[in-house]
Amino acid sequence: MKNNKIIYVSITAVLGILIFALGFNYKTNEEPRTYYQVYLEDEILGLITSKEDLLSYIDKQNASLKEQYHVDKVYEPNNLKIQKVVTYENNLLTIEEAYALIQKKAPFTVKGYQLTVHGDEELKFYVIDPTVFNEAVEGVMETFIGTKAYQNYKNNTQEENATGVIIENAYIEEDITIKEVQISVNEKIYTDKKELTTYLLYSGDLEESEYVVKKGDTIKSIAFANEVSTEELFMANPDYTSENNLVYPGQIFKIVKTSPKINVVSEVHSVEDKESKYRIEEQHDAERLKDDNEVIQKGESGIQRVTQKIKYVNGIVTYSTNVSTMELKPSISEIVIMGDKVIPNVGSLYSWYWPTLSYNINSPYGYRIDPITGDRRLHGGLDIQGNYGSPVYATNNGTVIEAEHSGTLGIHIIINHNNGYYSVYGHMQKIDSSVKVGRTVSRGQYMGEVGSTGKSTGPHLHFEIWKNCSWCRVNPWDYLW
């Protein structure tokens, strides 16, 4: 028993000496070392021996990205941190192991530029070379303004003639900022001018179709049938420049609907010789039956030289004002003997009175991108240019059913002509005191003043004709002209 005790004490002493010796040697022989701790966001991936070796390896392993984006170097992810640490820990990752972990968890980056368009909605996109963006913007401006016209404006080579258009200013409506960043390769990065131009014009979704002209088609009817504006039709088919261009069956038109990400503004000085439609003067015969009419003097349109200041946004007129109007050739009124045996509040089906002094159309009846909302919709009437306070006339006999202010049309009048037709006069500045709901108005009667109330970008009369029911809108041009 005594011998066992002696053996136990001896073993314990030996173990103590060994533990002391090992501990002493560990503390004196091991020194802390400098490594690099790799973090991805808040996650620790591990220790490596060299930060430079890891970054160099990331660049070396991504030759395909360098070729794809035409860059000289590929960088670590934006949320990767590599910090120097001094530690006793020696459980290290190889460079290959660290790379594999990073590759699984986060995208690598390349140096480039972030462009931010500050509009109703902030838009961000990325390029390697800022000249790609500049060239794409130039392409968008040429699309909406016209290549030749825009280049002449830029180069200060516009010709001033008796008639024509001079661009006074052209610019992008939104503020655009640019800063150099490391771009995640998961982002859409534009390296091609054409691709970025398509994105800015069509939101990246270029849907192109074809339309084959049928008998009886016109430029306006083709645009309407395909739910585009005439301006968009001209942009997609640059050989056509006017609604008066002739078309024939079998011709093929490209149909492309724009959805621009930026707004191109052009402010122009326009001098144009325009036809001024003759007025129809009615002479009433109480003994002549309704619709028993006789033209005793044929009408003839005149010519006016109209000088205007016009503002376009993406090819759509948003503001215009007359500077001057010079009559080059007076119009000759058409005189018609009209049968007068009708109910006084029933409008004539023979002729419609032009509702303003101006014959200038800012925006016709048809599909377009709404300048207020940016949505594509049917513009169900004519926007007739007019200065603030210029007169508005009733287009036909009828009964006033609305004379009030609303959010969209602003101050407006609606007339029931009691013959299946209604007419609408929107964005007025003032309604004459003689025009009240329930009262009868006569053809050509003064009703108030042109304005810009409601959802409007400038002074004009929004004029509609409805057929057979309220909001059954038809093209007023087919009745007025």
Domain containing residue 281: CATH number: 2.70.70.10
Same domain, 336 and 419: yes
Mean of the pLDDT values across residues 187-207? 89
Which pLDDT tens digit goes with each residue over 78-108? 999 999 999 999 899 999 999 999 999 999 9
Same domain, 347 and 476: yes
Which pLDDT tens digit goes with each residue over 396-427? 999 999 999 998 999 999 999 999 999 999 99
Q: What is the mean pLDDT of the chain?
A: 91
Range of the domain at 67: 29-106
pLDDT given for residue 392 in this prediction: 98
pLDDT given for residue 235 in this prediction: 87
Same domain, 129 and 199: yes
Looking at the structure of the chain, the number of domains it has is 3
Quick check: 357 and 279 in contact, CB under 8 A? Answer: no
Which pLDDT tens digit goes with each residue over 212-236? 999 999 999 999 999 999 889 998 8
* Residue 234 counted as domain residue: no
Last residue of a domain, one of 167, 192, 207: 207
Mean of the pLDDT values across residues 293-316? 95
* Own/partner pairs, 223-228, CB within 8 angstroms, 24+ separation: 223/366, 223/367, 224/365, 224/366, 224/367, 226/253, 226/255, 226/367, 227/257, 227/367, 227/376, 227/378, 228/255, 228/256, 228/257, 228/367, 228/368
Same domain, 317 and 416: yes
Which pLDDT tens digit goes with each residue over 140-167? 999 999 999 999 999 999 998 999 999 9
Same domain, 148 and 286: no
pLDDT given for residue 148 in this prediction: 92
The per-residue DSSP string of 208-221 comes to EEEEE--TT--HHH
Q: How far apart are CA 313 and CA 480, in angstroms?
A: 28
Last residue of a domain, one of 180, 207, 234: 207
Same domain, 271 and 408: yes
Same domain, 161 and 196: yes
Model confidence at 384, pLDDT cuts 50, 70, 90, reads very high
The per-residue DSSP string of 362-385 comes to EE-SEEEE-TTT--EEEE-SEEEE
Model confidence at 22, pLDDT cuts 50, 70, 90, reads very low
Same domain, 357 and 469: yes
* Residue 450 counted as domain residue: yes
* Residue 9 counted as domain residue: no
* Residue 82 counted as domain residue: yes
Model confidence at 9, pLDDT cuts 50, 70, 90, reads very low
Mean of the pLDDT values across residues 199-220? 90
pLDDT given for residue 27 in this prediction: 42
Same domain, 72 and 118: no
* Residue 42 counted as domain residue: yes
Strands 440-441 and 421-431: unpaired
Same domain, 402 and 321: yes
* Residue 227 counted as domain residue: no
Model confidence at 62, pLDDT cuts 50, 70, 90, reads very high
Same domain, 270 and 357: yes
* Residue 368 counted as domain residue: yes
The one-letter amino acid code at 448 reads G
Last residue of a domain, one of 63, 85, 106: 106
Same domain, 287 and 376: yes
- Segment of 40-44, 194-198, 326-330, 349-353 carrying the highest mean pLDDT: 326-330
* Residue 69 counted as domain residue: yes
pLDDT given for residue 343 in this prediction: 60
